[in-house]
Amino acid sequence: MKLFFISDIHGSLHFLKKALEHFEHEKADFLVILGDELYHGARNPLPEGYNPKEVALLLNTYAEKIIAVRGNCESEVDQMVLDYPVMADYSIILRQGRRLFLTHGHIFGPDNLPNLSEGDVFLYGHTHIPIAEKRDNIYVINPGSITMPKENNPHTFGILEGDTFIIRDLDNTIVKSIQLL
């Protein structure tokens, strides 16, 4: 099973379309969204192609393939326009004998991990900075942001296939990679 990860769309139709081109090209089984789908938030500038209504409509065409968690910019109104659940603070996928703990990063984070076991994977967004590392036998991964990367990082997404998690930019260049052994 191939999983495709994005985070922090922030209402950008322009960057969502680019990410979904990669999702289609990769023939991934599921699209995992780690929060902040529709709105840019009060601290952020308007992103290129800002159109939350069209973002919702486009995401709804993928509803049966989406696993999503709530970001700090999501609200109950967002759930009214999205055809997949988006209001959970976290979700867990059991995969190949390990837990993938999915969250946005504003409640749980790398410095405030939930109870995880050795070899589990903590996946989050929120910081807009791609990370793929192992800390105290827990894998900590952030696919970055497809819309508003920070700290001079490129626009990125993640792919998990087998035991390899790869973070790529929108030009399809590998930014980070980690083996989940």
pLDDT of residue 45: 87
Return the pLDDT at 41.
82
pTM: 0.97
Tens of pLDDT, residues 102-124: 999 999 999 999 999 999 999 99
The third-level CATH classification (topology) of the domain covering 2-179 is: Purple Acid Phosphatase; chain A, domain 2 (3.60.21)
Beta bridge partners of 68: 33
Per-residue pLDDT, 11: 97
| CA gap 32, 5 in Å, rounded | 5
Give pLDDT, residue 44: 83
Residue 17's SS3 state is helix
Cα separations in angstroms, 95 against 42, 101, 126 = 36, 11, 23
* Both structure tokens of 6: 């994005």
Reported as a pLDDT band with limits 50, 70 and 90, residue 42 is confident
Average model confidence (pLDDT) across the chain: 96
The structure tokens 């919702």 sit at: 56
Cα separation of 107 and 112, whole Å?
8
Average pLDDT of the segment spanning 76-85: 95
Neighbours of 107 (CB within 10 A): 15
Average pLDDT over residues 112-139: 97
